[in-house]
Amino acid sequence: MKKIEIVQGILDANQATAEGNRAAFDNSNCLALNIMAAPGAGKTSVVLRTIEGLGAGIATGVVEGDVVSTVDAEKVRDVAQAVVQINTKGMPESCALVADMVDAALSKLPLAELDLVLIENVGNLICPTEFDLGEHLKIVIASAPEGDDKPLKYPLIFADANAIIINKSDLLPYVDFDMEAFTKSVRDLNADVPFFPMSCKTGEGVSAWVEWLKGKLDSK
């Protein structure tokens, strides 16, 4: 008797599409990152610093997710090998990228020529946790001026992270951000996740992140 496959709801359908995206990345030997953060934490600045840090030897494509506008895509168009903008406006899942959107973007990227795809998600600490996009690694960016209590208030996104960047470290002298409290809150959710404090403005701390990422690129 044939097994009847049932796709249950939007999350199962998303998962199936995400697995297809991951297979497409794997077939092209391409590492894919899902970069998530609150609005204004510096996702695009991290994308720019990452491409700069990796240098010309790594061909990087960028998928920019925004509700509307092409502000971010315009910032990266000159440094990335290829850029695709996704505008989520008007779709029911407008608060996050979903796998279908990334699937559509992949057809516009020269995957065979790329080593790395940086998927910059919509600015949101809640909705993106629901949707696997087919990435290999989830990168969460916190920023010092947001305060150290974000892992307590948005635990899911920190629990799922494969690496955490703490951006805007140049502002640490001017804001109330207790690195020890932040670290402890994250460790309670995600015991071994690596931390990368950095300032995309000054460049401080970027190299440690880039070295970690190079290791992931080498071992893929």
Q: Which residues bind a copy of itself (CB under 8 A)?
A: 38-40, 66-69, 71-72, 94-95, 122-127, 143, 145-147, 149-150, 152-156, 168, 170-171, 174-176, 201
Q: Of 49 and 150, which CB lies nearer to a copy of itself in the complex structure? A: 150
Q: Of 9 and 57, which CB lies nearer to a copy of itself in the complex structure? A: 9
Contacts of residue 197, Cβ cutoff 8 Å, sequence gap at least 6: 165, 166, 169, 179, 205
Least separation in angstroms between CB 145 and a copy of itself? 4
Least separation in angstroms between CB 100 and a copy of itself? 18
Amino acid at 1: M
Residue 142's alpha-carbon distances to 32, 34, 68, 122, 179, in angstroms, are: 20, 14, 22, 14, 12
Q: Of 174 and 212, which CB lies nearer to a copy of itself in the complex structure? A: 174
Listing DSSP states for 147-166 in one string gives -TTHHHHSHHHHHT-SEEEE
Least separation in angstroms between CB 53 and a copy of itself? 20
d(CA 125, CA 140): 9
Least separation in angstroms between CB 116 and a copy of itself? 24
Nearest partner of 112 among 216, 24, 21, judged by Cα: 24
Least separation in angstroms between CB 217 and a copy of itself? 29
Q: Of 16 and 68, which CB lies nearer to a copy of itself in the complex structure? A: 68
Q: Of 103 and 154, which CB lies nearer to a copy of itself in the complex structure? A: 154
Q: Of 53 and 147, which CB lies nearer to a copy of itself in the complex structure? A: 147
Residue 23's alpha-carbon distances to 14, 20, 27, 106, 108, in angstroms, are: 14, 5, 6, 12, 16
Core vs surface per residue 182-195: b (16+ CB within 10 A) or e: bbebbeebbeebeb
Q: Where are the alpha helices (DSSP H) in the chain?
A: 9-27, 43-54, 71-76, 99-106, 150-153, 155-159, 179-189, 206-218
Least separation in angstroms between CB 139 and a copy of itself? 17
